[in-house]
Structure 1
Amino acid sequence: MDERDRAIIRELQANARLTNRQLAARVDLAPSSSSVRTRALEERGIITGYHAQVDLDRVGRGVQALIAFQVRPLSRDVIRSFEAFALQQREVLSVFVIGGGDDFLVHVAVPAVADMHALLMDRFSKRKEVVGFRTSLVYDHTHRWTVEPVIED
């Protein structure tokens, strides 16, 4: 990955709706070269997708929480199984496998606190591998990462 590739990534992170012609002009490439490079970044798995960022409050999912889970036995199969289950839940935004006292950190967004309670009691706590969890409500989410920093070589 060279500086032109990093420039393409930065521009698309700032505005993924750029046309190829606009992108090419911003990174000082011919449109054909811009298209080839962008496609190569996608094929190499460096660019993994494009999305629209949504305001969770405005779509009725304003109650957010970070839930730390402990699972047992701690094995690769249990970790993968719990991770897959969590990602299937429509309320789940992100799943992190972590080290330390907890095994997972799960970011969820729901319409109301009662929905959070139902999610935890009716679905997560019924999993046999879950031995404990702690919930931290998110009062304010002031910084949302929409751009992953591209490390310079």
Structure 2
Amino acid sequence: MLDRTDYALLRLLRKNARLSNKDLAARVGIAPSTALERVRRMHADKVLLGYHAEIAPAAIGVGLQAMVSVRLARHSRTLVDGFHAHLLALPEVLACYHVAGADDFLVHVGVRDSDHLRNFTLTAFTERDEVAHIETRLIFEYQRNVELPLRPGAE
């Protein structure tokens, strides 16, 4: 069970995972040893799953991003799991979501340009037997929200 102190630590880490333990503790108002123990516990309990670097898309050649909605022709655990594994193996896939509704997957992709997007969607999606339909939406702007959606006692 997470308490208000844990949420405060999570909020700070979500905004800046590079904060030193000393700074983290000072901002929350706890001893550095307490902050370290709480962060270690949240790692062990799989509350904190890891850290990542936010990279400017243009710096790595990504000039265009899109969301691709994918509807599968048939549904079975084998087909869904296989398609999910296929998506995760593609370097253009930035994130994928298995969703409920008319579509089965939403796939966030990053590519060089519109030609790359066209070739990628044809190869990665339409050539697969389990895919019945795709729809592509260009992303004009993307920002990740660093706030936590819930607070203790807000459920």
TM-score w.r.t. length of structure 1: 0.92
Question: What residue number does 1:90 align with?
Answer: 91
Q: What is the DSSP-based 3-state SS (H/G/I as helix, E as strand, rest coil) of the residue aligned with 1:33?
A: helix
* Residue aligned with 2:138, SS: strand
Query: How big is each residue's C-alpha offset from its partner over 1:92-147, in whole Å with a ceiling of 9 and x where there is no partner?
Result: 11111112211111010101111111111123222110111111111233x32344
Structure 1 residue 72, shift from structure 2 partner: 2.4
Distance 2:83 2:148 in 1: 26
Q: Which residue of 1 aligns with 2:149?
A: 149
Is it true that 1:23 corresponds to 2:24 in the alignment?
yes
Residue matched to 1:79:
80
The 5 Å alignment of 1:3-152 reads 3-141=4-142, 143-152=143-152
Unaligned runs of 5+ in 1: none
- CA separation of 1:152 and 1:29: change in aligned 2, threshold 3 A: same
Structure 2: where are the runs of 5+ without partners?
Answer: none
Query: Percent identity at matched positions?
Result: 35
- Paired residue type of 1:33: T
How far apart, CA to CA, are the structure 2 residues paired with 1:150 and 1:42? Answer: 19
Moved more, 51-60 or 92-101: 51-60
2:71 aligns to what SS in structure 1? strand
Cα distance in 2 between the residues matched to 1:2 and 1:123: 44
CA distance in 2 between counterparts of 1:42 and 1:74 reads 35
Q: CA RMSD in A?
A: 1.4
Distance in 1, matches of 2:128 and 2:148, equals: 33
> Distance between the aligned counterparts of 1:91 and 1:62, measured in 2?
12
What amino acid is aligned across from residue 126 of structure 2 in structure 1? Answer: S
Once the two structures are TM-superposed, the CA of residue 66 in structure 1 deviates from its matched residue by: 0.7
Aligned residues: 152
Q: CA deviation at 1:41?
A: 0.5
1:46-96 alpha-carbon deviations (Å, 9 max, x no partner): 111111111212321020111111112112221111111111110111111
TM-score of the superposition, structure 2-length normalised? 0.91
Give the distance between the partners of 1:11 and 1:140, measured in 2 at CA. 25
